[in-house]
Amino acid sequence: MKKVSILIPCYNEEQSLPMLYARLAELCRSLPQYDWEILLINDGSSDNTLAAIRQLRQQDKRVCYIDLSRNFGKECAMLAGFDHVTGDCVIILDADLQQPPESIPHMLELWEQGYEDVYARRLSRSGESWLRRKFSLWFYGLLQKFSKDDVLRNVGDFRLLDRKCIDALRQVREQERYTKGLFVWIGYRKIEVTYEQAERAVGKSSFSFLRLLNLAIDGITSFSTAPLRISTVIGLIVSLSALAYMLYVFVKTLVMGGDPVQGFPTLIIVMLFLGGVQLLSLGIIGEYLARIFNETKNRPVYLIREKAMNQE
Ligand code: UDP
Ligand code: MG
């Protein structure tokens, strides 16, 4: 019998867990041909998520859990999950029921047909503000321009991955993880399904605008070195314009005679502009340097306090 794992990173989700479990139990009942495993990762929640998870495990031994030592963020929590799931495939689901477990049977069908990465694209993004929607669309556009790999718009972490993909992702141990990009990077046979995103069942999203912005910068810097090239290009343009201006001044002096001292505002503008460009370039280099710094420390991506799995 094939085993299907469901991986759910949880951060302060004590209220949504019972609802989520009810929906999943229903799903498992409707597909008895599979062996199920529900792996919950408690990502350092500050509420009673762990107690709720323990209670679920008491009711149902298919529920396994890993308790991380603190909040490492969803990306790291997912890696902890990839390291421990035992299924022949894994389905990554959010705990807040924004993604309908009812799409899973169709995803499994496609997996049975031989697809290794069945990703779900949301048709609507209900429960998200206009600004956030605009921002993420703009961000995906930017990322697509910057990187060679095509990070797909409106595709989140909700997907089914074959064992091959899980093993591939486990080999990628970088600290600054941008999993959406990694899914594309690993390749394998992909196919798309679509779903309607629901509102969050309870609670509120833990990704504030600032956190999303950080994720966006991480996404770009961990997937592309194009910003460095932009600095080079700007530098080149500025130098060439300076050269052209120099020639112009030279010729003008020869033909019309020299200028008396003038043009203080122009000087200031040029100085400020150049100062700005230089600081920006330094900042960009710094971003990459910081990443090198973090990666060379080579720390583990997550730490586990406690785990309850059915087989070791
Ligand atoms: N999550 C997590 N660690 C975090 C933040 C979020 O494991 O530091 C989980 C959260 O419990 C949920 C999923 O990641 O299952 C998506 O989070 P959320 O719903 O807050 O994000 P959104 O749907 O708004 O992108
Ligand atoms: Mg959500």
How high is the pLDDT of residue 147?
A: 65
% of residues, the chain, pLDDT over 70: 95
What is the β-pairing status of strands 155-162 and 89-92? Answer: antiparallel
Report pLDDT digits (tens) over 91-124. 999 988 888 888 899 999 999 999 999 998 888 7
How high is the pLDDT of residue 89?
A: 93
Domain spans, the chain: 3-209+299-308, 226-297
How high is the pLDDT of residue 282?
A: 87
Q: Which ligand 1 atom is nearest residue 11's CA?
A: 11
Whether 303 has a pLDDT exceeding 60, the answer reads yes
pTM: 0.79
How high is the pLDDT of residue 99?
A: 87
Which of 96, 179, 209 to probe ligand 1 with, by most ligand atoms within 8 A of CB? Answer: 96
* CA-closest residue to ligand 1 atom 22: 205
- Measure CA 292 to chain center: 19
Report pLDDT digits (tens) over 147-164. 665 666 777 889 999 999
Which two tokens mark 253? 């002096």
All residues with CB under 5 Å from ion ligand 2: 94, 96, 98
Whether 270 has a pLDDT exceeding 90, the answer reads no
What's the 127 CA to ligand 2 centre distance in angstroms? Answer: 9
Report the C-alpha gap between 147 and 226 in whole angstroms: 7
Which two tokens mark 155? 């595709």
Report the C-alpha gap between 239 and 219 in whole angstroms: 30
How high is the pLDDT of residue 171?
A: 92
Ligand 1 in contact with 156 (CB < 6 A)?
no
Report pLDDT digits (tens) over 44-79. 999 899 999 999 999 988 999 999 999 998 999 999
How high is the pLDDT of residue 138?
A: 79
- Among all bound ligands, the one having the nearest atom to the CA of 16 is 1
Q: Considering only the top CATH level, what class is 3-209+299-308? A: alpha beta
Q: Which ligand 1 atom is nearest residue 128's CA?
A: 24
How high is the pLDDT of residue 64?
A: 93
Determine contact, residues 23/58, Cβ cutoff 8 Å.
Answer: no
% of residues, the chain, pLDDT over 90: 30
Contacts 24+ apart (CB under 8 A), 236-241: 238/274, 238/277
Which of 11, 20, 70 to probe ligand 1 with, by most ligand atoms within 8 A of CB? Answer: 11
- Residue 246 — very low, low, confident or very high, per pLDDT cuts 50/70/90? confident
Ligand 1 in contact with 73 (CB < 6 A)?
yes
Report pLDDT digits (tens) over 175-208. 888 888 888 888 898 888 888 887 776 777 767 7
Report pLDDT digits (tens) over 6-29. 999 999 988 889 989 999 999 988
Q: Which ligand 1 atom is nearest residue 78's CA?
A: 7
Give me the chain's average pLDDT, please.
85
Burial of 161 (0-12, 13-18, 19+ CB in 10 A): buried
* Helix-then-strand count for the chain, H and E: 10, 8
What mean pLDDT is predicted for residues 122-148?
73
Q: From edge to edge, which strands make up the β-sheet containing 63-68?
A: 190-197, 117-125, 155-162, 89-92, 3-10, 35-42, 63-68, 304-308
How high is the pLDDT of residue 151?
A: 63
How high is the pLDDT of residue 201?
A: 67
Q: Mention every residue, 6+ apart, whose C-beta is less than 8 A from residue 89.
A: 2, 4, 5, 108, 111, 160, 161, 162, 163, 166
Determine contact, residues 249/266, Cβ cutoff 8 Å.
Answer: no
Which of 79, 94, 131 to probe ligand 1 with, by most ligand atoms within 8 A of CB? Answer: 94
